[in-house]
Structure 1
C-alpha cells in the first residue's frame, strides 16, 4: 500500500480524484432503485405479473453478488482502470437496451447486464486502498459511503418524477446518459492505481476453504446478509405496497421510498462516531435489535390499527438505521477473522449478502398479491431482522468460548 501524491483532476497520469470515485459509486447505487416507482407501470406495459416484473430487482442483485467474487481478482490481474471503464460502457449499453425492450424477457436480460456497474463501487474502494494508507483510506471511503447514503434518498424520487412526466423508459435513458458522462470523466481522470499483480484465479480460490471453516466468519456474514435482507425485501415488495395497498402514484411513492436511506445515513454516522468506543459486536447487536423492534412495531400496527403511507414507510427508517450500524461493523468483523484473507473475505461475504438479498427480494415479490396487503412483506422483514440478531448473538457467544 502506498501513499499517493495529491491527485490532479482529469489527468490520466494521476490517481483518480475523490469526486470521480463518488460519481462511480453514485451510478452503482442509483442503478438499483431509481426505476422502482415505475414497476407497476412496467408490469402493465410488459403485460406480466408483478412477481415476474420484480425479478428485475432480484436478478440484478444476484448477478451483482456473483460479480463481486471475480471483479477483485480480475482487476488485480488487469488493473482497476480497464475493468471499471469496461463496466461503465457495458452498463450504458445495457441501459439503452432496457429502454428499448418490448418484451419482459429482453428487458430482464439487459437488466442483468446492468449489474456490471457494481465494479464502480467495488473497485473504487480497492483503488482507495491502493492510493493511501489505512487511516486516510477510512476517511475517503467515508465520503464514498456518504454518497451511497444520499443517492438512494433521491433516486426513487427522480425516477418517479420521470415516470410521471414522460414514461418508465425515461429513467433508463437518464441512466445511460449519466453513465456516459461518468465514463468520460473516468477515462480522463482515473489513472491506474494498482501497481502489483496478484496470484492467478486458481490461487485465489484455493484460499477460500480456510474461510469456510471459520464459524465467526459465517456468523458475521449471515448477520450482514440477513440485516441487509430486510432492505432487499423492502426493495422487492415496497413498490407493490405503495401502489396497490396505498394507491400512491409513482412520483409520490418515490419520495416515500427514500425513508430507509434517511435512517441509513444516520446509522452510518453513529457507526463512524461510536464503533471504536463501543465495539463492533455491540454495534451490530444494537443495530439488529433496532431493526427487529421497529419492524415488529410496524407489523403490529398493520394488523391491529389503520396503517397509513406515512406510518408504513416511516417505520422503514428503522431498517436503514439498523443497517447503517450492522453492515459496516459486520464487514469490519469478518475482515478481522482472517486478516491475510481480507480480500477473499470481502468478496465472499459481499456475494452472499447480495445473492441472499436477491432471494429475499424475489420471495417478497412472490408472496404479495391481490388481497394480501403488506402483511407478508412485513413478516418476512421481521424474520430477517431476527435472524440477523441471532447471528450476532452466536458470534458473541463463540468469541466468549474461544477467549474464555
Structure 2
C-alpha cells in the first residue's frame, strides 16, 4: 500500500505530446519564410539562416542543463520557466525590427528544448523500462506532427499574412503549453533535491559506461541522417527542382508522415518486441531510404522530386522507430537520474544534428544537386546502422548481467 502511495501521478499523454511539440514546431515553421524575413529586415539571407543554426546550438546547450536541473528542482518548475522564456523569445521575433533582435529572439526560443528533454524523462519517471519505450513512441509523435505541418503552415502564413504571424502562431501554441503545464501537469520526480556535485557525478558515471555512448551514437547518427536532409533538402527543392516553399513543405510532410508512423509502431510494438530489436529495425530503414533514392537518381535520365522525397520518407520511419527505443534504453541506464541522461543524450543528439544540417547545406552546393546529399545520407545511415547493431548486442549482454 505504501509503495502505491509513493508512486508519482501519471500525467495525461496529450500534455506531454504538446510539451514535446513546441520545440520541433519552432525549428522549421519559419524556414520557408527566410527570404521574406531577410527582405523585410534588410539583412543578408545567410544572417537570417543563422536563426536555424543558432537555435539548434542553443537547444543543444539547454538540453545539457535542463535534465540535471529537473533532477534537482523538479520537472514541473523547469518546464514552466522554459515555456515562459519561449513566449518571450517568440514575441521578440514577432516584433523584431532588425536581424539582431530576430536572432536574440530565436536563441531565447530555444528554451523550448526543455519540453523535448523532460517529456521523455517524465515518462521514465512513471513507467518501467519496456513500457516507457512504448509511451515515448506516442509522446514524440508531437515531435513528428510539428515538423509535418510546420513548413507547410509557415509557407501558407507567409503568403497570406506575412512571416511575423508564424511567430504569432508559435506564441499562441506556447501559451497553451504553458497553461497545460501550470494547471494539469503533476510533479513526477520523486528524487528532487540532488546536489550539484551529485549531478556532476552522474555525468561522469554515464561517460564511463560504453553502452551509454553506443546509445548516444545510435541516436546521433540516425538523427544526423534526418538533419542532413533538413539542411540540404530545401536547396535541392528550390534550386534543382525549382519548387516553391509551399511545395517543399508538402513534399517534406512525406518524411514527417513516415516519422509519425514509426512513432506509432514504436508505441505499439516496443514493449512486446523489445528495445534492441526495434532500434535495429529503425536503423535499417534509415539506411535503406537514402540508398534507394541515390540509386534512382543515378539510374534515371529525368530526375523528379518524388525520387528524393518518397524514398527518404523511410528516414522518417526509421527515426520514428529507433529514437523512442534508444531513448528509453539510454535513460534506463540510470533510472534515478533520468533527467540528466535524457538531457545529455538530447544535447549530443541535437548538437550532432545541427552540424549535420550544416554539412548537408554545404554538400548540395550552389546548384542544389541531390547526388551529393543522397551520398551523405547513405554514409550517415551506414554508420548509424553499424553503431546501432553493436549497441543492441551490447545492450542485451548488459541486461543479462
TM-score normalised according to structure 1 size? 0.86
Residues 323-334 of structure 1 mapped to structure 2, 5 A cutoff: 323-334=319-330
Match of 2:141 in 1: 146
Distance in 2 (CA, whole Å) between partners of 1:254 and 1:372 is 17
**Are positions 1:394 and 2:390 aligned together?**
yes
1:146-193 Cα distance to aligned partner (Å, 9 max, x none) = 333323222222111101112222211211122223323433333544
**Are positions 1:375 and 2:392 aligned together?**
no
Distance in 1 (CA, whole Å) between partners of 2:147 and 2:341 is 26
Out of 301, 313, 316, which is 1:317 matched to?
Answer: 313
Contact preservation (8 Å) 1:3, 1:131 = no
Distance in 2 (CA, whole Å) between partners of 1:296 and 1:326 is 18
Cα distance, 1:180–1:130 mapped onto 2, change above 3 Å: same
Cα distance, 1:42–1:301 mapped onto 2, change above 3 Å: farther
Distance in 2 (CA, whole Å) between partners of 1:211 and 1:54 is 35
1:73-102 Cα distance to aligned partner (Å, 9 max, x none) = 222333333322221121111112123334
**Are positions 1:184 and 2:175 aligned together?**
no
Residues 101-250 of structure 1 mapped to structure 2, 5 A cutoff: 101-130=96-125, 141-194=136-189, 196-250=191-245
Unmatched 5+ residue regions in structure 1?
8-13
Match of 2:246 in 1: 251
More moved, 171-180 vs 300-309:
300-309
Contact preservation (8 Å) 1:2, 1:132 = no
Distance in 1 (CA, whole Å) between partners of 2:329 and 2:133 is 15
1:322 CA displacement? 0.9
Out of 78, 83, 86, which is 2:73 matched to?
Answer: 78
Cα distance, 1:227–1:272 mapped onto 2, change above 3 Å: same
1:240-268 Cα distance to aligned partner (Å, 9 max, x none) = 22222222222222211211111112222
Cα distance, 1:81–1:277 mapped onto 2, change above 3 Å: closer
Match of 1:23 in 2: 18
TM-score normalised according to structure 2 size? 0.86
| Structure 2 SS opposite 1:207 | helix
1:270-319 Cα distance to aligned partner (Å, 9 max, x none) = 33344345443333333222222210221232344222222221122111
Out of 86, 92, 103, which is 2:87 matched to?
Answer: 92
Distance in 2 (CA, whole Å) between partners of 1:249 and 1:220 is 38
Unmatched 5+ residue regions in structure 2?
none
